[in-house]
Structure 1
Amino acid sequence: MLLVVTGCERNQVTDTLSEYQQRMANVLDTSFNAAMTSSSAPLVTLHYPNKRELTNRIKSTQLDVKAFYSLKQCDLNVLIAQRNTPLGRTQLPSVRYIYEREVLASLSRCKTLMPQHSELLDKWLEYKQLTLPLVWANLVQTSDETINAFSSNSDFFVSAPPTQLHETQSALSYLLALNDSDNSLANSSALESNLDLLSKAHLPARTWRTQAVLQNELNKTTQWLKKQNLHALCPDGKASQKIKYLKNVFTLFFIEKIQPIGSELNRVHYALMPFYSALSQHPRLASPFRQYINTHGNDGFDGYQNAIKNHVQFWQTLFKHCGISPRAN
């Protein structure tokens, strides 16, 4: 059932736009230039920055064998040993972040248990505190789950259940809060759960792709309509039958199908906008990532809204000239 619903959502936006364009062209006995088809929909693609641009290279702490064995009175040497296994050297960003938090906690404990090594432990603790924000940035920018949430090209957007939107808000809030000094939120189960919620819903990516296709196709449609000399179809300010048919097409497709999707887009955007702003302005995150979030989360929304506005204004002007109401009969 989930696959059926997802498939319907994937095609509904593009199919509606395509039929809207084709119906108007049929009424006017002409063709819609470069009409969109379902096969052209994947051209609306989100291009996420390359991982190599986003990954912070963090120098590993060097510790000689003698110092390593001197720490056997606390659990720090166990963590060090784990990190030096083949699996430990290829940790996922989320696993690495939790590991670094555990090291910091262990260093604090070791200082209490082994005051004779306080100089070594203090230097190590200072370095780990300095590099933790970089590990956090890698978590946000290079995790497979966040990449999917911000750049999945598999679906468009029709609506978001309140639970899904709330989960996305909570997950983004959780990731941002992890960068605070308080480590009470940092546990593996909570982190993986929030990443999973972000990935499965991928609300940012779905809304950004839908914004883009609406902007592209409505701008194209508005420009095409302006070339049709429709005002000539209202001699003496009276609507011809073709104009009445066009009004029906406008009502059936734009008012009843496209605008409700736009309303849902607006609702989700304004709910997630504070997180987009926080991510796009965060100094610890890489410039390409911040620019990407800003381009789609802020500029993309403005472009989509302008496309809606210009399209509606065209019809309002035409209907006023023709002396008819844009409302359904």
Structure 2
Amino acid sequence: MYRWPALIPVALLMAACGPADPLEDYASRVARVLDQPVEPATPAPPRYPRARDRQLPVPPERTGWIGYFQLKRCGLLHLIGQRNSILGRVAPPARRLDYERKLLAGLRACRPSTPAGAQDDDPAFAARLAELVASKQAQLPKVIWNATLGSDAMADAFSLAAGRLPMDTDVMPGESLGALATLTRAARGPQPPTVTEPAYRVLETRHYGGRLLQSVTAVTATLDAVTGAIEQRLARRPLCFRGRANRQARIAETVLREFYIAALQPHMAALSDAGRLWHEALAELFDAQSVTMPAAITRYRNQALGESSRVWRDYRRASREHGEAWTELLDSCGLAPARGF
């Protein structure tokens, strides 16, 4: 079994005035020990599509005054009045979805005919009612989409304004995971607004999706930069003479152990676990939809959501190549760590 050497008390490693950001700290220490610049790029993750690109058009029904008052026999005037009020027009997604479901249920339950055995006294209204039911039924999946994956709350969940997840705290989705599950249930069947509205608030305030993406993107950029520096140093000149470990090689080994294996790798493992849970919950919400997604959402999903997306493929690739570069560096000094670190 490979045994790590004792920590070398080098002022270079113990300096207390280094960068506060752990990723910057790791990159700067590698740069100093290899005498090779490490310059991580700062790419921004993909942005959640804007409203006009992520939402589906739902034209309002225009029944006219005659149709409006005819719906009195369905007991829907109060509901329609609420929806058409000033507050109703700016109602949050949970209440708009609740309104549409209640209206559709009321229209289906309405019976415009006279008592059993008698002929319908208003065939025109019956025909119009059937049209409204069919129209509302066809529109409901779009309303559900706009109230969940197309909503402003979901855009807030993927906002890039809140920065990364901190490395010294739990990165698991927590309440945000429960919020996605609540929206999934709302997409599959009626849920009281009092149940769903807290989920919207969580998504709006936690910004979990955006913070997770920024964390993964930043780690990927740092790994790629350090990997590039190691490769450039090896191409410029060997770290060790005749493959024998020297002081510089042991300092590099300590940087690897103390700042990558002990500090950064646990954070990376936590991000991977959190990403898996987050993507599973998102997949459930996507599966609950019955619409053709807007093209902008399809592109975003391919870029940023799920293990097969570009962001997460790059993350795994950067991790693999980083390990290979360190192994090559230390192997050139007879200090190769155990495989798979």
TM-score by shorter chain over 0.5:
yes
**Cα separation, partners in 2 of 1:206 and 1:114, compared to 1, 3 Å:** farther
Say yes or no: does 1:195 pair with 2:206.
no
Partner of 1:294: 302
1:260 positional shift: 1.0
Aligned residue for 2:163, secondary structure, equals coil
1:166 positional shift: 4.8
* Structure 2 residue corresponding to 1:32, chosen from 32, 37, 42: 37
Does the aligned pair in 2 maintain the 1:279–1:290 contact within 8 Å? no
**Cα separation, partners in 2 of 1:16 and 1:266, compared to 1, 3 Å:** same
List gaps (5 residues or longer) in structure 2.
Answer: 1-18
Aligned residue for 1:168, secondary structure, equals helix
RMSD value, Cα: 2.8
Aligned residue for 2:148, secondary structure, equals helix
Listed one character per residue, the Cα deviations across residues 169-190 of structure 1 (whole Å, up to 9, x for unaligned) are 332233233333x43xx21111
Partner of 1:147: 155
Partner of 1:78: 78
Aligned residue for 1:135, secondary structure, equals helix
Please give the alpha-carbon distance, in whole angstroms, between the structure 1 residues aligned to 2:252 and 2:112: 79
Listed one character per residue, the Cα deviations across residues 17-55 of structure 1 (whole Å, up to 9, x for unaligned) are 111121122223x3525367xxxx6x6354221211122
Partner of 1:10: none
Does the aligned pair in 1 maintain the 2:58–2:139 contact within 8 Å? yes
Deviates more, 1:140-149 or 1:85-94: 85-94
Please give the alpha-carbon distance, in whole angstroms, between the structure 2 residues aligned to 1:118 and 1:236: 93
1:138 positional shift: 1.2
Q: Which amino acid aligns with 1:204?
A: G
Identity %: 25
Normalised to the residue count of structure 2, the TM-score between the two structures is: 0.79
* Structure 1 residue corresponding to 2:28, chosen from 8, 22, 42: 22
1:68 positional shift: 2.0
1:278 positional shift: 5.0
Say yes or no: does 1:206 pair with 2:214.
no
Bigger RCO of structures 1 and 2 (CA < 8 A, at least 6 apart): 2
Say yes or no: does 1:176 pair with 2:187.
no
**Cα separation, partners in 2 of 1:16 and 1:251, compared to 1, 3 Å:** same
Partner of 1:312: 323
List gaps (5 residues or longer) in structure 1.
Answer: 1-12
* Structure 1 residue corresponding to 2:140, chosen from 132, 135, 138: 132
Say yes or no: does 1:324 pair with 2:335.
yes
Aligned residue for 1:323, secondary structure, equals coil
Partner of 1:8: none
Deviates more, 1:65-74 or 1:291-300: 65-74
Partner of 1:87: 87
Does the aligned pair in 2 maintain the 1:149–1:198 contact within 8 Å? yes
Residue correspondence of structure 1 range 264-283 to structure 2 within 5 A: 264-277=270-283, 283=291
Q: Report the number of matched residues.
A: 305
Q: Which amino acid aligns with 1:132?
A: L
Q: Which amino acid aligns with 1:237?
A: G
Partner of 1:259: 265
Please give the alpha-carbon distance, in whole angstroms, between the structure 2 residues aligned to 1:293 and 1:160: 27
1:286 positional shift: 1.4
**Cα separation, partners in 2 of 1:272 and 1:188, compared to 1, 3 Å:** same
Partner of 1:165: 173
Aligned residue for 2:335, secondary structure, equals coil
Please give the alpha-carbon distance, in whole angstroms, between the structure 1 residues aligned to 2:20 and 2:302: 25
Q: Which has the larger radius of gyration?
A: 2
